[in-house]
Amino acid sequence: MTSRSVPFADRLRFSRSVVVLVAAAALLSPSRACAQASEPLELRWDAPAACPSERQVRDRIRGLAGSSRSTEAPLRAEGRITRHEDGKFHLELVVHAGDLVGTRHIEGSSCADLTGAAAVALALLLRSPAPLREGELSGQDTTGGTAGDGSATNTPSEKERRTDEKRPPEQSHGSPGPVRPAAEASSDRPPPRRPWHGLIRAPLGAFALGPLPDPSFGLAVAGGVSFERWRFFVEASTWREQRMTASDEPGVGADVQLVAAGLRTSWALVQGGFELAPCVALTLEHLRAQGTGDEIAPRSADATWLAAGIGVQVRWRLVSWFGLFGGVSGQIEGSRPTITVDGVGTLGQTWPASLTVMVGPEWIL
């Protein structure tokens, strides 16, 4: 029995081919792995702690985009979600593609809604089969790419776009469309919300226990600003005049008048339509006493001192420019003046501490 042998030259040529194929596969494998490992999107995500994380946003974009588009320069996106005082959320999404930059502003009632909108927008850009335009990055260009409902639209080639740029406006192909000034186009975006507001609380009704001997009623006014969660106010109050009389001579006494002015700062624990905020205050108080009665000279005496306190305030915003306010605070008095009448004696002394309640409207500027 005989067997057919392969010529030595053929075997040598076959061995060399196998070696070349193995070496090519070894060289291509790392590059393929690197290509698969490269990310088509570079994302920076800044959002409140309760919102989806950057990793969750990336996973959602991958799920929507599927296979990434072929591009030399990957997309870069920066997303930032902030919360306004009315409880709504705002998304600012800045997208970079090479030298092109586009910005989108989206309002929503929850972080999840804005996160979904950002993921859908970035996934559509990644799936675009043609080079991106600046209008597409900002969400304003609807002439090309992939439509928001997933349907494909006709996109002019790069050569056609370059030709159009060189032609006069009347020679460009396609149906002419209305030309919108840049100022008009930018007006489509919602204006950014101010982080600060002016606040006026007037008139305020006030009730206090101390520092005057009897319970007091008064009026107050306050003006200030709010910035994020902080509130800064300048306050002024005047209290109804009280009469202090001598125990052994009811017809002899003194009329006592108290006014105050101070600074108050609070920080909102709860924000939105209803707000709860602890506060601290420093108050300058002024007391004037004038003697009254038969054979009593109507002379007056004054005393001024500082008082410091803490409290809590609540705000209920009814509309964007108006709300209701209420506050309770207690403070330690820096002095305790004694009211006396010459020839009669001591009529009384102020309290070492006081408790004050104020309620009234709040005007938001």
Q: Give the percent of the chain with pLDDT over 70.
A: 72
Greatest alpha-carbon span in the chain: 155
- Structure confidence by residue, pLDDT tens digits, 282-300: 999 999 998 887 777 777 8
| Lowest mean pLDDT segment, chosen from 37-51, 101-115, 229-243, 304-318 | 37-51
Q: Which three-class secondary structure state does DSSP give residue 44?
A: strand
- Structure confidence by residue, pLDDT tens digits, 191-242: 556 778 899 999 999 999 999 999 999 999 999 999 989 999 999 999 999 9
Q: What are the tokens at 307? A: 């008082």
Asked if pLDDT for residue 54 goes beyond 60, the answer is yes
Eight-class DSSP state of 7: P
What's the pLDDT at 192?
Answer: 59
What's the pLDDT at 271?
Answer: 76
Q: What CA–CA distances, in Å, run from 65 to 128, 140, 151, 281?
A: 10, 20, 14, 55
Q: What are the tokens at 31? A: 């590059």
**Rounded Cα distance, 165 and 119, in Å:** 32
Q: What is the mean pLDDT of residues 156-167?
A: 47
The neighbouring-strand residues paired with 204 are 220
What's the pLDDT at 5?
Answer: 47
The H or E element that residue 353 is part of is strand 353-364
**Rounded Cα distance, 233 and 201, in Å:** 9
Q: Give the percent of the chain with pLDDT over 90.
A: 34
The H or E element that residue 360 is part of is strand 353-364
Looking at mean pLDDT, say which of 92-101, 137-146, 149-158 comes out highest: 92-101
Neighbours of 310 (CB within 10 A): 12
By the 8 A CB rule, do 265 and 235 touch?
no
Asked if pLDDT for residue 155 goes beyond 90, the answer is no
**Rounded Cα distance, 136 and 133, in Å:** 5
Asked if pLDDT for residue 177 goes beyond 60, the answer is no
What's the pLDDT at 174?
Answer: 42
Q: What is the mean pLDDT of residues 24-41?
A: 50
Neighbours of 126 (CB within 10 A): 22
Q: What is the mean pLDDT of residues 140-166?
A: 45
What's the pLDDT at 200?
Answer: 96
Task: Return the residue matching tokens 């090519």.
Answer: 24
Asked if pLDDT for residue 169 goes beyond 60, the answer is no
In one-letter notation, the amino acid at residue 135 is G
* pLDDT greater at residue 247 or residue 362: 362
User: Which pTM does this prediction carry?
Assistant: 0.51
What's the pLDDT at 172?
Answer: 39
Looking at mean pLDDT, say which of 21-35, 61-75, 237-251, 326-340 comes out highest: 326-340
By the 8 A CB rule, do 141 and 133 touch?
yes
Q: What is the mean pLDDT of residues 153-158?
A: 43
Task: Return the residue matching tokens 């306004």.
Answer: 84
- Domains of the chain in start order, with CATH, are 38-150 (3.30.160.100), 196-364 (2.40.160.20)
Band (pLDDT 50/70/90 cuts) for residue 124 is confident
- Structure confidence by residue, pLDDT tens digits, 231-283: 999 999 999 999 888 877 777 888 999 999 999 999 999 877 899 999 999 99
Q: Which three-class secondary structure state does DSSP give residue 74?
A: coil
By the 8 A CB rule, do 122 and 115 touch?
no
Q: What is the mean pLDDT of residues 50-59?
A: 87
